[in-house]
């Protein structure tokens, strides 16, 4: 889902102000809106320095100049100016202008990640007497965005609803359109597709009334996401293509990237991988060109899912690793998204891909069906017994799914041989840890699983392979996989013997407990 629209730091109108002063302010605001902030800044300066300037104009100019300094990354000056604006407005007992100043100050805090402080200042702004519905609408929208960044969906919905009511009362149709859009976005994040569609339809209707082409494009793109989720592919494709046409006309590269991503997903889901590949590639290129990390990360993830769907697991994993790194570089505040939720979602996609890949190896070895899944479950239980942290647990799960990756290179007849193996065949099997590493060469994985793949057949007493490591030279994660790997091998049917019961397996393992570090073996016993 795209970001919410906002934050909303500036008022739409300056209010009733004496002629000459209003003219000065109007000119400065016009330049400001055209993006000519150097010239606008000079005009605001002139207003602030002018004699006998009316208080409301002064407060307005101070705040607007503060916002310009904020955009120039001069936070101290920005804050000082807005604080002065607040003081001037307070002295005038002008609640609306004072609230505007606080709204701007809170926005600065939100964008630098001081979320609690931002919430507190927005709260003060709302509590001011005389706050107009127009200002209230904007503050509530910003509070909604703040809640959204923090992953508090219900709170975000409540704020957007309050924003909607305030905007309705003040006749601010654009504000209503944005509130509907953001309500639709949160509903879509909660997978409430029917609600989301209704909100986007209302926002779209207002966008058309206001001739706001950009908002129309955003609504159509969100529509496409809803219809894709509902598997209404033709509808989704038409919406996404119209959105792309609009963004092309407006020449907004970033929005185009998101439209291309959506088209790529639609083509992927409708079984047209070549078109999907091309659209997703374009999305990634556009996102890189505009420096949009979030869009790049999301398009890269979608391309990974495409590669997986055509069985190219290695490519899929490389792309997911890139997406993981990109998500890690996102800043919740600047990108207005709940980064933690994004990363969590990506990690579950990641686990899905490695699980699939692990299982695709098992099909070459019919006796070990379900082996990776069981090893992953046992290993996780041991990791929990050892009180390993979240990152280590994920490392062990991912490593468990892929630990025998190298077996794809072992010939079928060797892997499934019923009789005893020759020395040469044994050598081939013993190469699988190194072959596994070769398959992952060049992929910069987010979790350190390579030690698991290389060393999961090493033994504590130095009798393992491929490096004959001894004692603590064997990585902890590899030892954990080693012990549960042996247990699973003993308790499942093999081509050369039937499955042992749990107790038989544990008794057998007791006889060779010197293969594992004592505390790991103990944790394993507790876990099974
Ligand atoms: Fe293995
Ligand atoms: Fe294994």
Q: Which residue matches tokens 């004592």?
A: 518
Give residue 103 CA to ligand 1 midpoint distance, Å. Answer: 59
Q: Is 350 helix (H, G, I), strand (E, B) or coil?
A: helix
pLDDT at 359: 84
Give residue 211 CA to ligand 1 midpoint distance, Å. Answer: 63
Give residue 371 CA to ligand 1 midpoint distance, Å. Answer: 11
Which ligand gives the minimal distance to the CA of 362?
Answer: 2
Which ligand gives the minimal distance to the CA of 400?
Answer: 2
- Least confident among 10-14, 283-287, 474-478: 10-14
Residue 14 has pLDDT above 50, yes or no: no
- Counting runs of H as helices and runs of E as strands, what totals does the chain give? 27, 0
Give residue 429 CA to ligand 2 midpoint distance, Å. Answer: 11
Output the average pLDDT for the chain: 90
Q: What mean pLDDT comes out for the span 99-121?
A: 91
Read off the DSSP letter of residue 512: T
Convert 438-469 into a string of H (helix), E (strand) and C (coil).
HHHCCCCCCCCCHHHHHHCCCCCCCCCCCCCC
Quick one: pLDDT band at residue 9, thresholds 50, 70, 90? very low
Give residue 452 CA to ligand 1 midpoint distance, Å. Answer: 10
Give residue 433 CA to ligand 1 midpoint distance, Å. Answer: 7
Are 295 and 254 a contacting pair, CB within 8 Å? yes
pLDDT at 142: 93
Give residue 435 CA to ligand 1 midpoint distance, Å. Answer: 11
Are 356 and 408 a contacting pair, CB within 8 Å? no
Are 452 and 474 a contacting pair, CB within 8 Å? no
User: Of 347, 349, 348, 327, which Cα lies nearest the Cα of 338?
Assistant: 327
Give residue 28 CA to ligand 1 midpoint distance, Å. Answer: 70
User: Of 182, 269, 273, 272, which Cα lies nearest the Cα of 229?
Assistant: 269
Give residue 301 CA to ligand 2 midpoint distance, Å. Answer: 29
Give residue 31 CA to ligand 2 midpoint distance, Å. Answer: 67
Which ligand gives the minimal distance to the CA of 457?
Answer: 1
Give residue 43 CA to ligand 2 midpoint distance, Å. Answer: 72
Helical packing angle, 502-511 and 476-490, nearest 10°: 130
Q: What mean pLDDT comes out for the span 336-364?
A: 83
Give residue 443 CA to ligand 1 midpoint distance, Å. Answer: 20
Read off the DSSP letter of residue 497: B
What percent of the chain lies above the pLDDT cut of 70? 94
Which ligand gives the minimal distance to the CA of 368?
Answer: 2
User: Of 334, 338, 327, 331, which Cα lies nearest the Cα of 150?
Assistant: 338
Give residue 403 CA to ligand 2 midpoint distance, Å. Answer: 6
Give residue 518 CA to ligand 1 midpoint distance, Å. Answer: 21
Read off the DSSP letter of residue 499: P
Are 371 and 404 a contacting pair, CB within 8 Å? yes
pLDDT at 291: 84
Which ligand gives the minimal distance to the CA of 456?
Answer: 1
Give residue 391 CA to ligand 2 midpoint distance, Å. Answer: 22
Which ligand gives the minimal distance to the CA of 407?
Answer: 1
Determine how many CB atoms are found less than 10 A away from the CB of residue 267. Answer: 22
Which ligand gives the minimal distance to the CA of 372?
Answer: 2
pLDDT in tens, 192-209: 999 999 999 999 999 999
Question: What's the half-sphere exposure (Cβ side, CA atoms, 13 Å) at 262?
Answer: 33
Q: Residues whose CB is under 5 A from ligand 1 (ion)?
A: 404
Which ligand gives the minimal distance to the CA of 429?
Answer: 1
């Amino acid at each position: 889902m795209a970001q919410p629209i906002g934050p909303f730091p500036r008022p739409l109108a300056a209010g009733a102000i004496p002629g000459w002063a209003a003219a000065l302010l109007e000119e400065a605001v016009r330049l400001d809106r055209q993006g000519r902030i150097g010239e606008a800044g000079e005009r605001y300066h002139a207003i602030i320095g002018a004699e006998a300037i009316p208080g409301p104009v002064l407060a307005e100019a101070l705040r607007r100049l503060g916002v310009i300094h904020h955009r120039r990354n001069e936070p101290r000056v920005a804050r000082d100016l807005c604080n002065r604006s607040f003081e001037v407005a307070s002295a005038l007992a002008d609640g609306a202008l004072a609230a505007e100043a606080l709204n701007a100050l809170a926005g600065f805090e939100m964008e630098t990640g001081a979320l609690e402080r931002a919430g507190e200042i927005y709260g003060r702004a709302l509590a001011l007497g005389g706050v107009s519905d127009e200002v209230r609408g904007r503050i509530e929208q910003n509070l909604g965005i703040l809640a959204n960044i923090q992953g508090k969906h219900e709170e975000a919905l409540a704020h957007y609803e309050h924003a909607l009511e305030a905007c309705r009362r003040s006749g601010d149709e654009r504000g209503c359109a944005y509130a509907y859009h953001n309500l639709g976005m949160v509903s879509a994040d909660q997978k409430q597709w029917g609600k989301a569609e209704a909100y986007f339809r209302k926002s779209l209707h207002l966008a058309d009334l206001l001739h706001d082409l950009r908002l129309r494009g955003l609504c159509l793109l969100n529509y496409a996401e809803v219809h894709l989720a509902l598997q209404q592919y033709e509808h989704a494709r038409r919406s996404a293509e119209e959105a792309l046409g609009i963004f092309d006309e407006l020449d907004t590269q970033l929005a185009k990237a998101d439209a291309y991503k959506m088209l790529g997903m639609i083509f992927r889901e409708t079984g047209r991988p070549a078109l999907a590949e091309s659209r997703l590639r374009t999305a990634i290129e556009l996102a890189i060109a505009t420096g949009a990390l979030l869009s790049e990360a999301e398009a890269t993830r979608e391309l990974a899912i495409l590669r997986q769907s055509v069985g190219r697991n290695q490519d899929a994993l490389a792309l997911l690793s890139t997406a993981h790194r990109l998500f890690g570089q996102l800043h919740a505040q600047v990108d207005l998204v709940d980064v933690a939720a994004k990363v969590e979602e990506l990690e579950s996609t990641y686990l899905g891909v490695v699980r699939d890949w692990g299982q695709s190896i098992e099909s070459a070895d019919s006796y070990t069906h379900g082996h990776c899944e069981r090893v992953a479950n046992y290993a996780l239980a041991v990791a929990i017994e050892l009180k390993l942290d979240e990152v280590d647990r994920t490392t062990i799960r991912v490593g468990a799914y892929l630990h025998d990756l190298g077996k794809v290179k072992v010939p079928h007849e060797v892997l499934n041989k019923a009789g005893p193996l020759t020395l040469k065949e044994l050598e081939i099997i013993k190469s699988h840890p190194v072959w596994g590493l070769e398959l992952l060469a060049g992929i910069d994985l987010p979790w350190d699983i390579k030690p698991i793949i290389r060393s999961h057949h090493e033994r504590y007493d130095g009798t393992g392979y491929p490096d004959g490591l001894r004692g603590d030279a064997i990585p902890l994660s590899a030892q954990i996989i080693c012990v549960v790997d042996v247990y699973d091998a003993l308790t499942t049917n093999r081509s050369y013997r039937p499955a042992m019961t749990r107790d038989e397996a544990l008794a057998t393992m007791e006889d060779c407990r010197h293969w594992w570090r004592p505390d790991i073996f103990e944790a394993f016993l507790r876990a099974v």
